[in-house]
Amino acid sequence: MERALRFFELNTGAQIPSVALGTWQAAPGVVGDAVATAIKVGYRHIDCAQAYGNQEEIGAVLKKLFDDGVVKREDLWITSKLWCTDHDPEDVPKALDKTLKDLQLDYLDLYLIHWPVSMRRGSVGFKSENLTHPNIPNTWRAMETLYDFGKARAIGVSNFSTKKLGDLLEVARIPPAVNQVECHPSWNQSKLHAFCQSKGVHLSGYSPLGSPGTTSLKSEVLKNPILNTVAEKLGKSAAQVALRWGLQMGHSVLPKSTNEGRIKENLDVFDWSIPNDLFPKLFEIEQARLVKGSPFVHDTFGAYKTVKELWDGEL
């Protein structure tokens, strides 16, 4: 029997819980209930971001759960992310302080640079004219300071290609602990996976089910016939197999749901495994990236003229 894979060890020595509740596109008024449900059924990892616009509601729920003795702060892993408008080194600590205030916490377990993209301070939305040229080494030095002070117990990046992660590793005093990227059987990130493994950087997979509830991404990940054939043979749902695939690859996975039944189903991935005869079949699935990052690409503004440049050809 495969190991349960409930945690993965980061290069800081910390143990990151392998399944998180994702909170992207979880509407205000709904996200709080989803977080409370998830924690009550056993989730110990919540993935947040300033850009999701729902951290205050999540903070109120966390405080209530702590006050009611449902869970202790030290038993939870809370991740959040630095938005593109806060890349200037003097803005990084202020952004973290705002996130901590919203979440009603003293520290984060993990703080990530959300995108290798910077935008004008104070700008709202995705207008191309607000794109600026990022200076990732400078932003990273400010992140390292947050780590030094213990306000972020681990630091990392998100949406970094193999090349961008490699460039950062060359100059980092404290190497990123995590690179959080889109990852599922239909976009398995094989090149980035191998690179992260070789450098001791943990790969965390967002949209591990292909974001089926998202209007902006037309995803067929869970409808894939190969995935469904494997699921049928194992008596599991396609979603459970997609998540267990991620765990067996060594990735933490961040499924998002606000439906109580699916929140529970997505956590039922520990006491079974995809056997060796079926696992390779999942690598026969045709590959396609869902999250292109197109709003960050422009002929004139910002650092990237094409989607290919943003991902350094990993398309």
Q: What angle do CA 298, 27, 35 make, to 5 degrees?
A: 120
Considering the candidates 52, 111, 206, 304, report the single residue annotated as catalytic. Answer: 52
CB 47 within 8 A of CB 79: yes
Closest CA to 312 of 195, 145, 186, 151: 195
Exposed e or buried b for every residue in 165-197, given b needs 16+ CB within 10 A? Answer: bebbeeebebbbbbbbbbbbbbbbbeebbebbe
52 catalytically annotated: yes
Q: E strand or H helix at 155, and its extent?
A: strand 155-158
Complete DSSP assignment for 25-87: T--TTTHHHHHHHHHHHT--EEE--GGGT-HHHHHHHHHHHHHTTSS-GGG-EEEEEE-GGG-
Burial class for 60, CB neighbours closer than 10 Å (0-12, 13-18, 19+) = middle
CB 269 within 8 A of CB 247: yes
Positions marked active-site = 52
